[in-house]
Amino acid sequence: MRLLRIMFPGRSPAGVSTATRWAAGSLAMLTFLIASLLPGRAQTAPDISSPQAILLDFDSGSVLYERAADTPSPPASIAKLMTMAVVFGEIDAGRLSQDTEFKVSEYAWRRGGAPSGGSTMFAAVNSTIKVSDLLRGAIIPSGNDAAIVLAEGISGNELAFTVRMNQEAKRLGLTGSVFVNSSGLADPDQKTTPRDMAKIAGSIIREHPDLYKIYSEPDFLWNKIRQNNRNPLLGMSLGADGFMTGYEKDAGFNVVGSAIQNGQRLIVVIMGAKSEKERAEDARKLLEWGFRSFESRTLFEPGQIVGEATLYGGARNGAPLTSDAPIRVLVSRMGDEKLVARIRFEGPVPAPVKKGEELARLMVYRGDQLALETPLVAAETVPAGPLWRRAMDGAYELVVSLLRQGYAKLTG
């Protein structure tokens, strides 16, 4: 039987009980209690009407609330977050200048411009526009024409640009998203999830902080037409500073927003609301509740041993696991809550392993809700063991495999 140990060595973080527990297989579980600062019961989440939502803490990645957060749905204009993620990447890598000018094709004008009847920056056909203005046209009034012009200017045509969008989705670890255009215009094959949109939003803030500031600009003047920022959260005194809305008949009303208060940043995604008012109110309720009800706690400091992964054929039986960064989770300010932590890995891990090599992931659950997922790496290098140890490990794994097969037949 393979064993994995999760442990809190030495003095625990404040409010976390020390514990050590052993479990079989490639999944181990440790239950620990985090004590709150204040007495009383944890405050319940607000009642929202939208069918899909997620609220998470930017710094720790802790999920505070979710509803159907992994159900793929049409994104509408919030798909432009992925468009901007690709464009921002080109700018920050030095492959694209904000002073570069792109031509407005007839396709971009007809599909996303004034003749389309959708959100537009009113770009004139066959005109040339600087990337800096196209960015604002795509973000502030959510111009479909601006998004298409950027896609064509970077990749030659919109279809080729969507290849870049889906490559970026893979890099970010999105699991429920497929992008088939740059604007978010209706297409039965284009889908995303609240969790995926939150990941894109977080990556933009983290990787492109200067360009992210465009999302907070209140208005945009182009072609003698001044258009206000469509993000309703910006005017709600929440500390909101970015992201955008979307609407289409099959998608309903969507919004992605981010706000910061007292150094704490939250990201909220609402999808499928029935009206502009509903999406704005639901997002506001979640943000206010999140800021009021949660605080950050450190579970493990950088370099602290979190657990041990079983090794196969190594100089020792296990590799200690740690994190290069603090592992933090948001906990309720109002009452004690029980968090369940699990280390997941495909094991046993074959030796040798190098220090810093990712071996596992720490999953922290608040009830049935995944509150935090973060990678764990080897805290030290473990070389391959001598031939006799590898032979013993091989024989052991063979026996375990045969026992599992026999058990599967009996229970199958």
pLDDT per position as a tens digit, 364-387? 888 788 888 999 999 999 988 666
Give residue 314's domain range: 3-38+298-382
Query: With pLDDT > 70 as the criterion, what percentage of the chain qualifies?
Result: 82
Give the active site residue among 73, 77, 177, 332. Answer: 77
Q: Do 266 and 322 belong to one domain?
A: no
**Long-range Cβ contacts of 299-306 (<8 Å, 24+ apart):** 299/13, 299/16, 299/327, 299/328, 299/329, 299/341, 299/364, 300/8, 300/13, 300/326, 300/327, 301/13, 301/326, 302/326, 303/379, 304/9, 305/7, 305/9, 305/379, 306/6, 306/7, 306/343, 306/362, 306/376
Give the active site residue among 80, 191, 199, 285. Answer: 80
Q: Do 153 and 215 belong to one domain?
A: yes
Q: Do 167 and 223 belong to one domain?
A: yes
Query: With pLDDT > 90 as the criterion, what percentage of the chain qualifies?
Result: 65
Q: Do 248 and 136 belong to one domain?
A: yes
Annotated catalytic, 62? no
pLDDT (mean) for 200-206: 98
Q: Do 110 and 253 belong to one domain?
A: yes
Annotated catalytic, 142? yes
The count of domains in the chain is: 2
Q: Do 143 and 266 belong to one domain?
A: yes
Give the active site residue among 60, 73, 142, 155. Answer: 142
- Token pair of 149, please? 């012009």
User: Which CATH number does the domain housing residue 241 bear?
Assistant: 3.40.710.10
pLDDT (mean) for 30-43: 45
* SS3 (DSSP) at 345: coil
Q: Do 117 and 76 belong to one domain?
A: yes
Q: Do 33 and 56 belong to one domain?
A: no
Q: Is residue 411 part of a domain?
A: no
pTM over 0.85: no
For the stretch 158-195, pLDDT in tens is: 999 999 999 999 999 999 999 999 999 999 999 999 99
Q: Is residue 224 part of a domain?
A: yes
Q: Do 26 and 92 belong to one domain?
A: no
